[in-house]
């Protein structure tokens, strides 16, 4: 089931009124819902991605001791614009206090239980728990001012693809009304979970199944947190970006080497970053991009921020 005309109208309305409503950046993109390049006069293509991307990273990467204020301050000084937390389990009051003291926002969260407690599980009680955790993550994310919850939707080991498809969509869909009410998007990550791609397949695979899967929700509050490095092993990230288009609400970034078949630092590996940058411009993307690599202390975090600047063609003043 694809988006209907009513959905297209709602999507265009959200995009057109984003500035007035102070909606998150991902609702203010140019172009149409299926990813055709649109009006980019707000940030000319000649300027590249400068001014379009906000750098964030995963909480587990930050090896800094102390209070939440210490953590957020270290992230800010390293050159990042935000931080993604794990949920459920956020110390909401402490985090809100730290945000106020540092001025660094929490842009979103990762639903931390999604690998073990899956929406695709054959067990109804496990799916119910997965739904409860997703709803809690949406509420906690909203409470700290974030606008997205990253979700792994299931795993191929839970059954045939068509069964996992229907089972996971039916379960996740029950959380979409809450996502819309709170203004927090459910963002699906492309991961090595043996679903929506052929895990034993070659490097010429497409993002078509991911696009159809997202479309079934018929909601602007469900999209992709597209991980640029995760499927370089299986397909062309630039082509996937163009296929997914405006379904991409956020980005994850890491490096990957096809030669050695292993993940690398962001500037390692052999990803064609020039093609990735052009594809992001072609779909009119701007918004958050989250590092997902080995972290460390202040020095390592600064290096990661600088590597993000390098592959996306940004200057340090964007930090």
Reported as a single tens digit per residue, the pLDDT across 214-245 is 999 999 999 999 999 999 999 999 999 999 99
C-alpha span between 246 and 243 (Å, rounded): 9
Global pTM value? 0.87
pLDDT at 3 over 90: no
Contact 7, 33 (CB under 8 A): yes
Q: To which residue do tokens 């057109």 refer? A: 16
- Give the pLDDT score at 315: 83
Contact 312, 81 (CB under 8 A): no
What tens digit of pLDDT does each residue of 82-128 get? 999 999 999 999 999 999 999 999 999 999 999 999 999 999 999 99
The mean of the pLDDT values for the chain is 88
Taking residues 307-314, report their average pLDDT: 97
As separate numbers, helices (DSSP H) first and strands (DSSP E) second, the chain gives 10, 10
17 vs 143, residue with greater confidence: 143
pLDDT at 12 over 70: no
List CB contacts of 137: < 8 A, sequence separation 6 or more: 87, 88, 109, 111, 149
pLDDT at 192 over 70: yes
CATH of domain 5-318: 3.20.20.150
Task: Determine which helix (DSSP H) or strand (DSSP E) holds 288, and give its type and residue range.
Answer: strand 287-291
Beta-bridge mates of residue 189: 225
What single-letter DSSP state applies at residue 62? B
- Give the pLDDT score at 4: 37
Domain residue ranges in the chain? 5-318
Residue 282: how many other CB atoms lie within 10 Å: 18
What DSSP assignment string belongs to 132-173?
A: HHHHHHHHHHHHTT--EEEE----GGGS-HHHHHHHHHHHHH
C-alpha span between 117 and 115 (Å, rounded): 6
pLDDT at 316 over 90: no
Nearest to 220 by CA among 24, 71, 55: 24
């Amino acid at each position: 089931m694809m988006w209907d005309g009513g959905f297209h109208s709602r999507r265009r309305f959200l995009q057109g009124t984003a500035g007035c409503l102070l909606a998150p950046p991902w609702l203010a993109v140019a172009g149409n819902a299926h990813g055709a390049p649109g009006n980019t006069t707000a940030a000319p293509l000649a300027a590249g991605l400068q001014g379009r991307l906000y750098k964030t990273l995963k909480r587990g990467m930050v090896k800094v001791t102390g209070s939440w204020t210490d953590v957020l301050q270290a992230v800010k000084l390293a050159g990042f614009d935000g931080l993604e937390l794990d949920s459920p389990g956020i110390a909401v009051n402490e985090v809100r206090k730290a945000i106020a003291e540092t001025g660094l926002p929490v842009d979103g969260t990762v639903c931390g239980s999604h690998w073990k407690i899956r929406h695709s599980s054959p067990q109804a009680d496990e799916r119910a728990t997965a739904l409860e955790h997703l709803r809690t993550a949406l509420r906690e994310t909203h409470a700290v001012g974030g606008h997205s919850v990253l979700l792994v939707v299931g795993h191929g080991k839970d059954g045939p693809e068509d069964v996992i498809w229907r089972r996971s969509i039916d379960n996740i869909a029950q959380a979409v009304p809450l996502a819309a009410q709170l203004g927090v998007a459910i963002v699906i990550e492309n991961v090595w979970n043996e679903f929506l791609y052929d895990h034993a397949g070659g490097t010429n695979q497409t993002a078509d199944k991911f696009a159809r899967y997202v479309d079934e929700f018929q909601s602007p509050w469900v999209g992709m947190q597209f991980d640029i490095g995760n499927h370089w092993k299986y397909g062309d990230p630039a082509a996937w970006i163009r296929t997914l288009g405006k379904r991409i609400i956020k980005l994850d970034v890491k490096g990957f080497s096809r030669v050695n078949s292993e993940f690398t630092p962001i500037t390692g590996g052999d990803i064609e970053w020039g093609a990735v940058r052009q594809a992001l411009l072609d779909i009119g993307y701007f918004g958050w991009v989250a590092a997902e690599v080995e972290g460390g202390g202040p020095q390592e975090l600064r290096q990661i921020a600088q590597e993000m600047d390098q592959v996306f063609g940004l200057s340090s003043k964007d930090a």
